[in-house]
C-alpha cells in the first residue's frame, strides 16, 4: 500500500511539473486561445470546424460553461452572424474557421464588417508551420487574401505568441474606428505548450486611436453653427459606434437644427422626433435630399460622404460650408472638401460643443422639410403604405410591422429593394435597431445576421426583411435557427425577381429583364423541413393577421408574402444626378 501511495504521489508531482514552469501554468496554444477570449469577456463564438482548427474545437468542450459556440451551416453565415452580434450587443463579434476554403469563405463577411466599421475578431487555422508555402492540403495565404479588408491581420506560428497577439487583436478591433481583425494560427502552435499569462493590451506604439480633443476647431465650429441660417445635421454610423445618441439629441434640441441620417445612421435619432428630417441617399426621403442643396451649413457627424448619399459630387452642397466630425482622418476631404475638420470621437466632440452653441429655432427652415414630407406622402408614401387595390406592396408590409411593434423591434434586412423599403417605412425609436449591409451591399446577409442579432440581444424582437433572391443565398442557415431554436421572425418579400436589378432594368435598360426573373421553391415547405412554422400570404385580407401570428409566435416563424412583381422603390436619385434631382414618379 505504501509503495502504491508513493507511486501515485510521484505521478501527481510529475503531472504538476508538466503543467507549470516557475509557477506559471503550462497549457496548449488551443487552450490559451480560449482562455484569452474569456479574459476579453467573450461568451459567444460563431464558427465552423475543420482539420486545421480541430485542436481548438477539442478544447472548446472543456469550456462549454463559459463559451457558447454557434455552429452555422457555412462560414459566410458565421461571419455575418458575428457582425450582427457586434452591432446589437456593443461587444466584438468572434468567428472561427479552418484553413483553406474555410478561411476564404469568410472573406465576404470580413469585407462587409470592414466597410461598415464593425469590430469582429476572426480566428482562422493554418496548416503546420513547416508546410507553409508548399501548397499543402487546404493551405491558403489568408493574410494576403484578407489584407485589403481587415484593419489588421497576423499569423501565429508559436504558441507563446498567442496571448499577446489576441490581446493586440481585441485592442485594434475595438478602438478608434472599429473594424475586423484576423489572427491565423498554425496547427502546431495550437498543439504546442506555453507558459500562460494574459495581459490586456492598452497601448501600441505608432497606433494612436485616441486623439487629443481639437478644442480650437470645436470653438470655430460653434461660431459657424451660431451664425448659420439654414443648417442641417447629417448623422452617420459613427454616432451609434461612439454611443453618442443622447449627445446628438441634446445638440439638435439646443440648436434647433434638423437631423438627417444615413442608412447606417438610422436609429441614431428617433424618427418620431420633431427635428427628424429623414433618411438620406439614393432611395432616401425627399426633404433631406432636396434641401441638402439649400442648406448654408452642413454638420456631418460620424459619416463618410458615401456616393449613395452625395449623388453627383460636382453638384453636391456647393452652396454650403461643411463641418466634418470624424474619427478616421482618412475619410476627411476624401470625397467632399470641407471647411472645418474635427478629427475626434463624435461623443467627445458633441459633449464639448453643446455648451458652446446658442439655443435657437429655425421654424421657417423646418417648415420646408415638412412641406417636402407632404409632397412625398402624396406622391409616394400614401400609395405604398395604404394602397386601395392591387398586389401587396413592400412599404405596406413594413409599415404594418412598424405599427404592430411600436417601432421597437430590431430590424434586420438583406440587400436590395427590401433593404431600402425597410429603411424608409419602419419608424425607428430605439438606437442600434437596424442591422444591414451598408458599404458592401451583400445579398445573403439578412438570414445569418438575424441569428447574430437575436443572440446578441435576446430581449428584443428581431424581424428580418429578406428578398426571395437574397434568402436563397444563405437559406441553409435555417438549420442554425432550428438547432439553436433562435426565435427570429423572417419575412420574405417575394416578388419573383431580383428586385433592385429588375428596377434598374426597368428604368434604365428599356425593361430588358436579363437574368432577373426567379423560379422559386416553396419556402414554407422548406422551413417546415427545418421545423420552422410559416405561412404563405397572397392576399391583402390575410396580411395583418399573418403578421400578428408571426410576432406572437414563441419560436422562429416564416412568412412568404407575395408582393407586387414590378413595384419600384421611390423616390430615387438616379445615377449621375444631383441629390436635388429626385425622381418621385416613374411610369414604365
Just list the catalytic residues. Answer: 75, 137-138, 187, 500
By three-state DSSP, how is residue 70 classified? strand
Sign of CA dihedral 47, 51, 53, 54: positive
Longest dimension (CA), the chain: 97
Evaluate whether 262 touches 420 at the Cβ level (below 8 Å).
no
CA distance 78 to 47: 5
| Helix ranges, 441-579 (H) | 446-456, 468-471, 478-484, 499-508, 523-529, 540-552
Place of cell 472543456: 62
DSSP symbols for 196-258: --------BTTB--SPPP-HHHHHHHHHHHHH-SSEEEEE-HHHHHHT-HHHHHHHHHHHT--
Evaluate whether 96 touches 53 at the Cβ level (below 8 Å).
yes
CA distance 175 to 119: 9
Residue 466: CB atoms within 10 A of its CB come to: 32
Evaluate whether 348 touches 342 at the Cβ level (below 8 Å).
no
DSSP symbols for 252-294: HHHHT--EEE-TTTTTSS-TTSTTEEEE-STTS-HHHHHHHTT
C-alpha distances in Å from residue 323, one per residue of 144, 165, 277, 333, 336? 37, 38, 18, 11, 11
> Within 13 Å and on the Cβ side, how many CA atoms surround 228?
32
Amino acid at each position: 500500500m505504501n509503495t502504491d501511495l508513493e507511486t501515485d504521489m510521484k505521478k501527481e508531482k510529475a503531472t504538476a511539473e508538466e503543467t507549470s514552469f516557475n509557477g506559471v501554468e503550462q497549457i496548449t496554444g488551443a487552450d490559451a486561445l480560449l482562455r484569452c477570449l474569456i479574459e476579453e469577456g467573450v461568451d459567444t463564438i460563431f464558427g465552423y470546424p475543420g482539420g486545421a482548427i480541430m485542436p481548438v474545437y477539442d478544447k472548446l468542450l472543456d469550456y462549454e460553461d463559459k463559451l457558447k459556440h454557434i455552429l452555422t451551416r457555412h462560414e459566410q453565415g458565421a461571419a455575418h452572424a458575428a457582425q450582427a452580434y457586434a452591432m446589437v450587443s456593443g461587444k466584438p463579434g468572434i468567428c472561427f474557421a479552418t484553413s483553406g476554403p474555410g478561411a476564404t469563405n469568410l472573406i465576404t463577411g470580413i469585407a462587409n464588417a470592414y466597410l461598415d466599421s464593425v469590430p469582429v475578431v476572426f480566428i482562422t487555422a493554418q496548416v503546420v508551420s513547416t508546410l507553409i508555402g508548399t501548397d499543402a492540403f487546404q493551405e491558403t495565404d489568408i493574410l494576403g487574401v484578407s489584407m485589403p479588408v481587415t484593419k489588421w491581420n497576423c499569423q501565429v506560428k508559436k504558441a507563446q505568441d498567442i496571448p499577446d497577439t489576441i490581446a493586440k487583436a481585441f485592442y485594434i478591433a475595438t478602438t478608434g474606428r472599429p473594424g475586423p481583425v484576423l489572427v491565423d494560427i498554425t496547427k502546431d502552435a495550437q498543439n504546442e505548450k506555453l507558459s500562460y499569462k494574459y495581459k490586456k493590451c492598452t497601448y501600441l506604439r505608432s497606433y494612436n486611436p485616441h486623439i487629443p480633443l481639437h478644442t480650437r476647431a470645436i470653438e470655430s465650429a460653434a461660431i459657424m453653427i451660431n451664425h448659420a441660417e439654414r443648417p442641417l445635421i447629417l448623422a452617420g454610423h459613427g454616432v451609434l459606434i461612439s454611443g453618442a445618441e443622447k449627445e446628438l439629441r441634446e445638440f439638435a434640441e439646443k440648436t434647433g437644427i434638423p437631423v438627417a441620417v444615413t442608412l447606417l445612421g438610422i436609429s441614431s435619432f428617433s424618427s418620431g422626433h420633431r427635428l427628424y428630417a429623414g433618411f438620406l441617399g439614393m432611395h432616401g426621403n425627399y426633404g433631406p435630399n432636396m434641401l441638402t442643396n439649400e442648406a448654408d451649413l452642413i454638420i456631418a457627424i460620424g459619416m463618410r460622404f458615401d456616393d449613395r448619399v452625395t449623388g453627383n459630387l460636382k453638384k453636391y452642397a456647393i452652396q454650403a460650408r461643411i463641418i466634418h466630425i470624424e474619427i478616421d482622418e482618412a475619410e476627411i476631404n476624401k470625397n467632399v472638401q470641407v471647411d472645418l475638420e474635427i478629427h475626434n470621437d463624435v461623443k467627445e466632440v458633441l459633449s464639448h460643443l453643446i455648451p458652446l452653441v446658442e439655443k435657437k429655432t429655425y421654424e421657417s427652415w423646418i417648415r420646408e422639410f415638412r412641406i417636402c414630407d407632404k409632397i412625398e406622402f402624396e406622391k409616394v408614401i400614401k400609395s405604398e403604405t395604404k394602397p386601395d387595390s392591387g398586389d401587396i406592396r413592400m412599404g405596406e408590409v413594413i409599415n404594418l410591422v412598424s405599427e404592430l411593434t411600436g417601432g421597437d423591434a430590431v430590424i434586420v434586412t438583406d440587400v436590395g429593394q427590401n433593404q431600402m423599403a425597410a429603411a424608409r417605412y419602419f419608424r425607428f425609436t430605439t438606437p442600434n435597431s437596424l442591422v444591414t449591409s451598408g458599404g458592401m451591399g451583400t445579398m445573403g446577409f439578412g438570414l445569418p445576421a438575424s441569428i447574430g442579432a437575436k443572440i446578441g440581444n435576446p430581449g428584443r424582437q428581431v424581424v428580418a426583411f429578406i428578398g426571395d433572391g437574397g434568402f436563397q443565398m444563405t437559406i441553409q442557415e435555417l438549420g442554425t435557427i432550428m438547432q439553436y431554436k433562435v426565435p427570429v421572425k423572417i419575412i420574405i418579400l417575394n416578388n419573383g425577381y431580383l428586385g433592385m436589378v429588375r428596377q434598374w432594368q426597368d428604368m434604365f435598360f428599356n425593361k430588358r429583364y436579363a437574368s432577373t426573373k426567379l423560379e422559386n421553391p416553396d419556402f414554407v415547405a422548406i422551413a417546415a423541413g427545418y421545423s420552422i412554422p410559416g405561412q404563405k400570404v397572397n392576399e391583402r385580407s390575410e396580411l395583418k393577421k399573418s403578421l400578428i401570428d408571426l410576432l406572437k409566435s414563441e419560436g422562429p416563424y416564416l412568412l412568404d408574402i407575395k408582393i407586387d412583381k414590378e413595384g419600384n422603390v421611390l423616390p430615387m436619385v438616379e445615377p449621375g444626378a444631383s441629390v436635388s434631382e429626385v425622381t418621385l414618379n416613374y411610369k414604365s
